[in-house]
Chains A and B, each alone.
Chain A
């Protein structure tokens, strides 16, 4: 029974149907040409015996035109197939995105609702009220960050985001500290976990939002996908042409087949999905897109599941004039 079910599943798969239908088309065309070549002598005899003359160039033209039309049909059907496959992938991405964003929205919303209902039903001390306001502010910032990331991903996807207008000379160490602070909502003890090696005199010419977005997302991922308390190492090297920042964690790692996938919009690594870890599949897409806009590149390496991961962000250094 299960064999029959799996056989039906294979037969009804769009790729199987497409390949089979193309093979049928091509076979018909080959048989037709084969028949035409073999029957040519018969056609010649018929032509000579018929009172109405059949011009030989007409039959050759018919063959050529027929082949061209079949070729056009083949190309057209391949194109339709490719487009429909793209749409299917896009639909799956959208569904994955809606599912993950909905999930990411629910937690801060639940927290805010809980605080409001608590304030409505209980008499709270001033200290507790102040603490709740502070927590509510963090939840709202978290929601805002999520909404902004989704909107930014859409602008980057359409190629309409421009960071050059807000570029300025910035101290990289300060940016890395600010990026680390951004992840404090995930782990209040983040400062104790981060081991930073960065000279005080490294400056870059870029938009502060762009840099915090790049490093903040990578550091947030390092926190999200690592056991609590494990170190996160940040090291910076500068050479004649570029500044290389490496962020290494001792987390769940990334499988080799996911190395490219995780940088695509709404795509997440299999380990993150199987462990049901929170995330939207937007962060690393933003990291890659923004790094590219700055003229740099981002690379990831991991020895596999359970061995942590390392992100290298390389951005161009345009010389001491900027300092």
Chain B
């Protein structure tokens, strides 16, 4: 039985794909590579489950955002890292709000990519082996079921979270009313060195606010603390 973590690599640039395959295989991963969007979706269906997916955006036939959307409809647990030359804030936001766990811009640092992929795979493995604490965590109106990744909101329908959204929310729920810096969140949730990238955290906070807040543009629960980070707090029962 093959115990090597399996990664779906979707990259249409031949040289980048070749070098990534070489490096990932050298780290002990099994790679399934696709050069265009259509093949990627076919391979995803025929070869799943994967432990992680590395996904380019500009792809022939079906673009990376469409692939992300299709995969997230049926799978919220597999970590997806967008690896793209599209560097605008709008693209980054589209990727992260669309369900990606990470967004890395080309040209990238090889060791950083390896660290991020490794962390995503660890998380995926923990979920598979049920090593993550599956006890429900509650706070004000919400109850997070970390086993099913469902967020129950009193009086409302349940919301399906991705694995990384659940991890991030759990970190806030475990540190209620405490200010958590971006560096802390990157270290604890992403498993990364805090000075690498902080906008990823900001984009995920926006994603959580869309789920938690009545008016995400005027957050009351998940608030920013200027110059320090973010805090999950209970402002009192809404009227």
Which positions in A face B, CB cutoff 8 Å?
99, 102-103, 106-115, 117-118, 121-122, 128, 132, 135, 138-139, 188, 227-228, 275-278
Q: A107-B106, A115-B19 are in contact. List 7 more A-B contacts (CB 8 A).
A: A99-B88, A106-B85, A106-B87, A111-B13, A114-B19, A114-B107, A139-B15
Q: Is the CB of B16 within 8 A of A118?
A: no
Q: Is the CB of A110 within 8 A of B63?
A: no
How many Å from the CB of B112 to the closest CB on chain A? 10
Q: Which 4 A-B pairs have the closest CB atoms?
A: A110-B106, A106-B85, A110-B107, A117-B110
Q: Is the CB of B85 within 8 A of A135?
A: no
Q: Is the CB of B85 within 8 A of A110?
A: yes
Q: Is the CB of A102 within 8 A of B87?
A: yes
Please name all residues of chain A whose beta carbon is closer than 8 Å to the beta carbon of B26 when the two chains form the complex: 122
Known interface pairs A111-B19, A135-B15; A121-B86 also in contact (CB < 8 Å): no
Cα distance A228–B14 when bound, in Å?
A: 14
Q: Pick 12 A–B contacts, CB within 8 A, sort by A.
A: A109-B107, A110-B16, A110-B85, A110-B108, A113-B108, A114-B19, A114-B107, A117-B109, A122-B23, A122-B26, A139-B15, A277-B58
Please name all residues of chain A whose beta carbon is closer than 8 Å to the beta carbon of B111 when the two chains form the complex: 117, 121
Please name all residues of chain B whose beta carbon is closer than 8 Å to the beta carbon of A122 when the two chains form the complex: 23, 26
- Binary A-proximity of B6-42 (CB < 8 A = 1, otherwise 0): 0000000111101110110010000000011000000
Give residues of chain B (77-128) contacting chain A, Cβ–Cβ below 8 Å: 85-88, 105-111
Give the secondary structure class of A's interface: helix
Q: Is the CB of A278 within 8 A of B16?
A: no
- Name which residue of chain A comes closest to B17, CB basis: A111
Cα distance A114–B13 when bound, in Å?
A: 12
Q: Is the CB of B15 within 8 A of A118?
A: no
Q: Is the CB of B60 within 8 A of A227?
A: yes
Task: Confirm or deny: B237 has a beta carbon within 8 angstroms of a beta carbon on chain A.
Answer: no
Cα distance A99–B86 when bound, in Å?
A: 9
- Name which residue of chain A comes closest to B63, CB basis: A276
Known interface pairs A118-B22, A121-B111, A138-B15; A276-B58 also in contact (CB < 8 Å): yes
Q: Is the CB of A276 within 8 A of B57?
A: yes
Q: Is the CB of B61 within 8 A of A227?
A: yes
Give residues of chain B (50-74) contacting chain A, Cβ–Cβ below 8 Å: 57-58, 60-61, 63
- Name which residue of chain B comes closest to A117, CB basis: B110
Q: Is the CB of B18 within 8 A of A135?
A: yes
Please name all residues of chain A whose beta carbon is closer than 8 Å to the beta carbon of B88 when the two chains form the complex: 99
How many Å from the CB of B143 to the closest CB on chain A? 35
Cα distance A109–B105 when bound, in Å?
A: 12
Please name all residues of chain B whose beta carbon is closer than 8 Å to the beta carbon of A112 when the two chains form the complex: 107
Please name all residues of chain B whose beta carbon is closer than 8 Å to the beta carbon of A139 when the two chains form the complex: 15
Please name all residues of chain A whose beta carbon is closer than 8 Å to the beta carbon of B60 when the two chains form the complex: 227-228, 277
Say which residue of B20, B35, B58, B86 sits within 8 Å of A114 (CB atoms).
Answer: B20
How many Å from the CB of A10 to the closest CB on chain B? 25
Q: Is the CB of A109 within 8 A of B106?
A: yes
Please name all residues of chain B whose beta carbon is closer than 8 Å to the beta carbon of A110 when the two chains form the complex: 13, 16, 85, 106-108
Cα distance A117–B110 when bound, in Å?
A: 7
Known interface pairs A117-B111, A228-B36; A107-B16 also in contact (CB < 8 Å): yes
